[in-house]
Amino acid sequence: MSHDNPYEALGGDGDARWAFGTGFTDPLAGVDTTAPAGVDGGDLAAYCLMLGDDALVMSHRLQEWCTRAPELEEEVALANIALDLLGQARLLLARAGQADGGGRSEDDLAFLRDAPDFRNVRLVEAANGDFARSMARLLVFAVWRLALLDRLAGSRDPVLAAVAAKGVKEVAYHRDYAAGWVVRLGDGTAYSRERMKEGLAAVWPLVAELFVPHEVELRLARAGVAVDPSQLRAEFDAVLDQVLDAARLTRPDAARPGEADAAQEGPADAAPAGAGGRDGRHGTELDEVLSVMQGVARALPGATW
């Protein structure tokens, strides 16, 4: 039903009028969400939470650039990327809620869990820092997630395969965007280059965790459902080097001792292998994200808007 006057459209005819999203509670409506034969529902839910929380928290950090971006075009771009990731998160959290049999909705999972119940990698919760650091983080995230989703599109689970196949098209655009900025700043002025180097160094301690498989990932990878993240490192390195070469930058861990001092400005408590975000170990930065993201839902339980 179309309306000539937007104010008319707000009145009268049913829900979903006051805001996009209201009244649309199930992004998987009508999708067959039966777990594939031989796959544990608890494992499947845990895996969907991992990938869903990565997208949700990364989306939130990108949304923080709204009204703060250096140019309007960048603000629009970052909001678009955040929206794509929020859509991926909605599908994955809805899937998680159905797979574990607990009946929690995507909103329950997004707004009513505490930090130790979040399963995102720590890369996504880190504070934005300046624009260069945000672009370094987005590049690392998008290169990694694209490699992951591209493989996940072949999953034996039809819902994960479909979410991934769509996500590949979206994250390919995100990766090109972040790569473009890393090259522009890295191969720009002496000052922009310095800031880009610092941004990359600040993010670098959080990279190793991306490739450490959790036991759930390994079990589901053996069942043909998930991707073992340790298999992604070669592609990640190849793509990242392609960008860094164009930006005339090197990886922080290839730098001379002392040159990566800026890393100290990054999260000082980077997770050791095997005890990271996938196990619910997070920094205080995730608490900051959740206090903002969950504030309204927690203050007004059950409210709709």
Partner 1 sequence: MVTRHEAGRAVAREAGRAVAREVAERVTDPELPLLTLADLGILRAVDTDGDGRVVVTVTPTYSGCPAMAAIRADLTASLRAAGFADVEVRTRLSPPWTTDWITEAGRRKLADAGIAPPGPAPARAAGPVPLTLDPPRRRVRCPRCGSAETEELSRFGATACKALWRCRACAEPFEHVKEI
Helices (H), the chain: 6-10, 41-63, 72-99, 106-111, 122-125, 131-152, 158-186, 190-203, 215-222, 233-246, 284-293, 295-299
Residue 24 sits in the site that holds partner 1 (CB under 8 A): yes
Tokens of 112: 């009513």
The interface with partner 1 within residues 197-236 (CB under 8 A) comprises 235
Give least dist CB 84 to partner 1, A: 5
Residue found by looking up tokens 């999203």 in the block = 21
Residue 73 sits in the site that holds partner 1 (CB under 8 A): yes
- Is residue 106 a contact partner of residue 40, using CB atoms and an 8 Å limit? no
The phi, psi pair for 224, rounded to 5°, reads: 80, 15
Tokens of 259: 């040159």
Residue 126 sits in the site that holds partner 1 (CB under 8 A): no
Q: Can you say how many angstroms the Cα of residue 293 is from the centroid of all Cα atoms in its chain?
A: 15
The region of 86-94, 190-198, 253-261, 274-282 touching partner 1 under the rule CB under 8 A is: 86-94
Residue 77 sits in the site that holds partner 1 (CB under 8 A): yes
Site mask for partner 1 (CB under 8 A), range 234-263, x = bound: -x--xx--xx--x-----------------
The phi, psi pair for 148, rounded to 5°, reads: -70, -50
The interface with partner 1 within residues 173-192 (CB under 8 A) comprises 173, 175-177, 179-180, 183
Count of residues that bind partner 1 according to CB under 8 A: 60
The interface with partner 1 within residues 29-48 (CB under 8 A) comprises 29-31
What letter represents residue 156's amino acid?
A: R
Binding partner 1 (rule: CB under 8 A), the pick from 106, 125, 170, 285 is: 170
